[in-house]
Amino acid sequence: MVVAFDNNVLCLLLHPEADIPNDPATNKPIERAQERMELLMAHLARQDARVVIPSPVLSEFLTYASTEYLDEISTNKNFSVGSFDQRAAIEAAVALRRAMKSGHGKKLGLIGNWQKIKVDRQIVAIAKVERVQILYTTDRDILALAADSGLEAVHVADLPLPPSKTPLLDAAEGGDAATASDEPVASEPKPPSEQSHGVATKKADPPAPVLPSSPQGAPTPQQPDSSPPAALPARSKQ
């Protein structure tokens, strides 16, 4: 299994003081965003998945985070940096040409500035040539560009919530956590027509799961690991 992260997702994973991106459905910080990421990473660790960090993402991340994180990324066998090389450049050029022929213009109708969209297109192109199966992001432009390139992309707000540790208390209080605790670890995303973010990811019939499914013959885990997986970097505090 090969996945990729954008900058905000990488920050949620490695930088404990990172700002929480907004959920487009509520325009408020994503509920329990870091817990969602921990659940995802535990699942990916069990899959022995490879996490690709596109080089533009790494550059942006290191602009705001300490370079000590570079050691965590470079020494961890589950991480690799995807370069914007000749193959990625060709992939990006093909996507740009397709957008210009579509009638939506080189920006594909997106409202972001051109420089940002060019970088986002590079991120998607790198993910394509690295044979990434799911690109995790919090950026609507990346969601749209990925869909245009036939790459599945998932917003962090669409990741499942971890099961509640106090379901009876949550039920008594009538809070949202009681509902969240009933959601399975490997739940499927909403179909494009029902997604709250207004940008459909790669269409599939039936829709692909938000989290990659377990290897054939292995049951899908229903509970997150009680401790961080050893194969993944521990969060560092600055």
- Domains of the chain and any CATH numbers: 2-194 (3.40.50.1010)
CA distances from 198 to 140, 143, 144, 171 (A): 8, 10, 9, 31
pLDDT values of the chain reduced to their tens digit, one per residue, 238 residues: 999 999 999 999 988 788 999 999 999 999 999 999 999 999 999 999 999 999 999 999 998 887 788 888 889 999 999 999 999 999 999 999 999 998 889 999 998 899 999 999 999 999 999 999 999 999 999 999 999 999 999 999 999 998 877 666 656 555 544 444 443 334 344 443 344 443 434 434 444 444 544 344 444 444 444 444 444 444 444 4
Overall pTM surpassing 0.75 (yes/no) = no
Locate all alpha helices (DSSP H) within 103-188, ordered by sequence: 114-129, 140-148, 167-173, 176-181
